[in-house]
A and B are shown apart, each in its own frame.
Chain A
Amino acid sequence: EPEVTQTPSHQVTQMGQEVILRCVPISNHLYFYWYRQILGQKVEFLVSFYNNEISEKSEIFDDQFSVERPDGSNFTLKIRSTKLEDSAMYFCASGLRQGNGYTFGSGTRLTVV
């Protein structure tokens, strides 16, 4: 079964540092997403990406965040200057069509110290 692959599985970073979280979506999927889940809380939408541009973003996705699809296969989330409250599990997801439910990757656990 096709998978969404995320690397690394766990990243520890110092406050103020930049991090890049990487994702390889399912190859024929057209819609790409980042979500996050703070420990013990619900899954929250960050951003959706289609046709090489952001289609929607949440209030959480401020100027510290950016996304990129640099080479047609990878999809990255960059956090420019991490804060303690950015510590969470970050999930990448991809989908073939809008509104059909998506496949999530296994996540990157980001710990900011």
Chain B
Amino acid sequence: RKEVEQDPGPFNVPEGATVAFNCTYSNSASQSFFWYRQDCRKEPKLLMSVYSSGNEDGRFTAQLNRASQYISLLIRDSKLSDSATYLCVVSHYNTDKLIFGTGTRLQVFP
């Protein structure tokens, strides 16, 4: 079983739509959680860290459910520029190795 699982998509949504991605992780020792964004053939870029209380950054909201071991990302009012692959990333207690999911591809169309 993969340690971090994501639906690969693609999610095709119109501009202005709200879209949600989920991610599950298998290791209960996971301590830190992130969403990264990766454009085609580019480097991953940190979108936001995910905290237990949930957190918001503009149009983006991230939630963490430790009991169910899943993380979500909600994008409101999608823009064409949001088209990318969204990577769910975890790391364990006492290590800073990042464990990546395979990513969920989002395509926003006009």
Interface positions of A (Cβ within 8 A of B): 31, 33, 35, 41-45, 48, 55-56, 58, 89, 91, 95, 98-107
Residue of A nearest to B100 (CB): A43
Q: B residues within 8 Å of A by Cβ?
A: 31-32, 34, 38, 41-46, 49, 87, 91, 95-103
Chain B residues with Cβ below 8 Å from A104 are 43-45
A-B pairs with CB below 8 Å: how many?
A: 52
Cβ-closest chain B residue relative to A95: B96
Contacts of A98 in B (CB 8 A): 96
CB contact under 8 A between A106 and B42, given known A42-B101, A42-B103, A101-B49: yes
Q: Are A45 and B97 in contact (CB-based, < 8 A)? A: yes
Interface residue SS majority, chain A: strand
Chain B residues whose CB sits within 8 angstroms of the CB of A91 once the complex forms: 43-44
Do the beta carbons of B43 and A99 come within 8 Å of each other?
no
Q: A99-B91, A100-B49, A101-B34 are in contact. Are A45 and B43 (CB under 8 A)?
A: no
Which single member of B34, B43, B49, B102 contacts A42 (CB below 8 Å)? B102
Q: Are B102 and A99 in contact (CB under 8 A)?
A: no
